[in-house]
């Protein structure tokens, strides 16, 4: 009985809603399709409603914001040491454009999963490019020294609280469905949880007491219904992810072209060298995508050592 109870609670409370990580992806790419990594597929499972989609977009926004802050700190340190940081600044400038796109994404849109998959892929690619460029500039000892210097605890409290509130709202909806399954709805208790006055552990305990009073047949019925619901949600996520793989490269080219035009038509960066480097990198990626080579991102030179090194 305890085992069944544990499975039910794990299925419905979705306690595994994890912070999104910009992990490196080794998935292969073709001209028009790409394989979506398992981590991203799992993350899309809660995006079958607008609240779940908002959670994932907020987590992506937080991850990008964190990388931008750390990137800016890295650049500041390198400038103090007289390194040429133009290439790193160009990558960071595009990452900031990407952040604006994530912030503008609509969680209620029918293509929210596709947008999330696309923008997360861009974030991973730019983050990897920044790290690879940095590694090419410094040896292992210098890299470790730099990490120690910028290793400060990062907390974007406002965004973290916003994500937590949306997770509570999502879990409230899931709990309401669970209460509906077991034939017991306590709206005041649900409101207390959503407002942060009741912990998840207290919710588990209350649900446990209710289920303990049920017959074995009733518990098995609830478990079966919940399992079916979970399977349907996973199938829905798989279909959305599969749809997102089609025309993946074409959409990527359109996003790069949009950022490139924005960079050309506005003062997207106060430093003209950085602006030129960012534009050249995007043009290089477009050319490489058109040639079927996939990733891009080498600098334009501009007469400087854009890859790094001391000035």
Burial string for 61-94 (b: 16+ CB within 10 Å, else e) reads: bbbbbbbbebbebbbeebeeeebbbbbbbbbbbb
Q: How far apart are CA 98 and CA 50, in angstroms?
A: 21
Asked if 76 contacts 52 with a C-beta cutoff of 8 angstroms, the reply is no
Q: How far apart are CA 67 and CA 63, in angstroms?
A: 6
- 216 pLDDT band, cuts 50/70/90, is confident
Please compute the mean of the pLDDT values over residues 63-77 and round it to a whole number: 88
Summarize pLDDT for 1-27 with one digit per residue, the tens.
Answer: 444 444 444 444 433 344 444 433 333
- 202 pLDDT band, cuts 50/70/90, is confident
Provide the CB-side half-sphere exposure for 44 (13 A, CA). Answer: 26
Whole-number pLDDT of residue 152: 56
Asked if 308 contacts 83 with a C-beta cutoff of 8 angstroms, the reply is yes
Whole-number pLDDT of residue 103: 94
Of 52-61, 140-149, 282-291, 292-301, the one with minimum mean pLDDT is: 292-301
Q: How far apart are CA 265 and CA 43, in angstroms?
A: 36
Summarize pLDDT for 113-160 with one digit per residue, the tens.
Answer: 999 999 999 999 999 999 999 999 888 888 888 877 776 545 544 667
Whole-number pLDDT of residue 174: 81
What one-character DSSP code corresponds to residue 195?
Answer: T
Instruction: Tell me the pLDDT of the chain averaged across its residues.
Output: 79
Q: Is 83 helix (H, G, I), strand (E, B) or coil?
A: strand
Asked if 137 contacts 22 with a C-beta cutoff of 8 angstroms, the reply is no
Whole-number pLDDT of residue 217: 86
**Where exactly are the structural domains of the chain?**
2-16+158-245
CB atoms within 10 A of CB 237: 20
Residue listed under structure tokens 């779940």: 52
CA angle 108, 53, 183 (to 5 degrees): 95
């Amino acid at each position: 009985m305890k085992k069944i109870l544990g499975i039910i609670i794990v299925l419905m409370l979705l306690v595994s809603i994890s912070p999104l990580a910009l992990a490196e992806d080794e998935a292969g790419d073709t001209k028009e399709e790409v394989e979506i990594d398992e981590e991203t597929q799992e993350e899309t499972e809660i995006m079958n409603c607008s609240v779940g989609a908002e959670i994932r977009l907020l987590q992506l926004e937080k991850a990008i914001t964190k990388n931008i802050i750390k990137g800016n700190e890295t650049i500041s340190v390198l400038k103090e040491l007289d390194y040429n940081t133009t290439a790193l600044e160009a990558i960071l400038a595009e990452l900031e454009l990407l952040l604006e796109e994530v912030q503008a994404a609509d969680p209620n849109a029918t293509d929210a999963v596709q947008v999330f998959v696309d923008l997360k892929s861009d974030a991973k690619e730019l983050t990897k490019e920044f790290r690879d460029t940095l590694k090419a500039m410094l040896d292992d000892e210098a890299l470790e020294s730099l990490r120690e210097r910028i290793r400060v605890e990062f907390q974007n409290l406002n965004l973290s609280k916003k994500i937590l509130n949306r997770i509570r709202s999502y879990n409230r909806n899931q709990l309401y469905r669970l209460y509906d399954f077991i034939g017991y709805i306590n709206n005041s208790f649900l409101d207390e949880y959503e407002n942060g006055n009741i912990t998840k552990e207290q919710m588990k305990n209350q649900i446990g007491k209710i289920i303990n009073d049920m017959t074995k047949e009733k518990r098995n019925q609830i478990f079966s219904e919940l399992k079916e619901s979970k399977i349907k949600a996973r199938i829905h996520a798989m279909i959305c992810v599969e749809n997102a793989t089609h025309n993946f490269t074409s959409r990527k080219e359109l996003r790069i072209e949009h950022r490139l035009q924005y960079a050309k038509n506005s003062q997207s960066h106060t430093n003209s060298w950085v602006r030129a480097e960012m534009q050249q990198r995007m043009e290089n990626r477009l050319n490489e995508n058109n040639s079927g080579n996939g990733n891009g991102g080498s600098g334009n030179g501009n007469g400087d050592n854009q890859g790094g090194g001391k000035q």
